[in-house]
């Protein structure tokens, strides 16, 4: 909230080293929100970001289920179970901090990482790399975590491509 409301610019915090370091925070999400945030709308703004993050996370989980080849009926039943249990705090997924009760940039980055994982599963490596880049920009640590699956998928894709080229030459 101090970043989003630009509190580090207030005169009473001019000599506070912690407050003065806030504008150097690396995630672009909070400075972007600062352009529309006011003290009057901060609660609604963070709630809207929280809902957006949840929607993106569930969308990503649906994409993963679809890439896994789950039947359509089971897909939607599973998605509805996730949505209702996630909303009401009964999700086993939320036990590890993935679906917490408030908005943070890490949860938003995780949604993009999950979208990237679904794209990797569909062998859409460039699109997966772009989704991982968004996750990286939002939260560097989440983006770094995506290097391993992207690297492995890229190496596998290169192996397939070189195998296809070898067959075409013969």
User: Model confidence over 6-25: pLDDT tens digits?
Assistant: 888 899 998 998 888 887 77
Residue 73: pLDDT band (50, 70, 90) is: low
pLDDT at 43: 93
Residue 103, classed as helix, strand or coil, is: coil
Interval 57-78 mean pLDDT: 78
User: Model confidence over 129-154: pLDDT tens digits?
Assistant: 999 999 999 998 888 888 888 888 88
pLDDT at 89: 55
Which whole-number Å values give the CA distances from 39 to 6, 31, 42, 49, 58, in the listed order?
Answer: 11, 15, 5, 16, 30
Query: Do 150 and 124 meet the contact criterion of CB atoms below 8 Å apart?
Result: no
Residue 51: pLDDT band (50, 70, 90) is: confident
Residue 95: pLDDT band (50, 70, 90) is: low
pLDDT at 152: 87
CA dihedral 128, 130, 135, 138 (to 10 degrees): -170
Model pTM score: 0.76
Q: What is the mean pLDDT of the chain?
A: 81
Tokens for 156, please give them: 């596998």
Measured CA angle at 75 (ends 144, 156), to 5 deg? 40
CA dihedral 75, 80, 86, 89 (to 10 degrees): -130
pLDDT at 7: 87
pLDDT at 97: 62
How long is the chain? 170
């Amino acid at each position: 909230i101090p970043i989003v409301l630009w509190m580090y610019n207030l005169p009473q915090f001019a000599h506070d080293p912690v407050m003065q370091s806030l504008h150097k925070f690396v995630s672009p999400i909070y400075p972007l929100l600062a352009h529309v945030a006011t003290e009057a709308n901060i609660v609604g703004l963070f709630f809207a970001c929280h809902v957006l993050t949840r929607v993106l996370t569930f969308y990503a989980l649906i994409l993963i289920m679809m890439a896994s080849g789950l039947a359509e009926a089971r897909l939607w039943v599973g998605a509805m179970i996730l949505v209702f249990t996630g909303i009401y705090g009964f999700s086993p997924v939320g036990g590890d901090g993935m679906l917490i009760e408030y908005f943070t940039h890490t949860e938003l980055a995780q949604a993009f990482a999950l979208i990237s994982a679904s794209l990797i599963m569909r062998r859409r490596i460039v699109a997966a790399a772009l989704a991982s880049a968004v996750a990286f920009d939002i939260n560097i640590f989440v983006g770094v975590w995506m290097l391993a699956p992207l690297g492995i998928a890229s190496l596998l894709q290169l192996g397939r491509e070189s195998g296809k080229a070898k067959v075409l030459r013969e």
